[in-house]
Amino acid sequence: MTAVRRARVDDAPVLARLLWDFNTEFDTETDDADVLTARFDRLLRLDEIVAVLAEDAAEPVGFALVSLRPAIWFDGPVSQLEELYVVPERRDRGIGTQLLELSRRLVRELGSPEMHINVDEVDEDTRRFYERHGFVTIEEGVDYRMLCYVGPTA
* pTM of the shown model: 0.91
**Residue ranges covered by each domain of the chain:** 2-132
Give the CATH class of 2-132: alpha beta
Amino acid in the structure at residue 130:
Y
94: which residues sit within 8 A by CB, 6+ positions away? 2
Pure H helices in the chain? 12-25, 33-43, 95-109, 124-132
Is the pLDDT at 144 greater than 70? The verdict is: no
Q: Is the dihedral of CA 40, 46, 52, 53 positive or negative?
A: positive
Q: 30-84, pLDDT tens digit by residue?
A: 999 999 999 999 999 999 999 999 999 989 999 999 999 999 988 999 999 999 9
pLDDT in tens, 75-117: 999 999 999 999 999 999 999 999 999 999 999 999 999 999 9
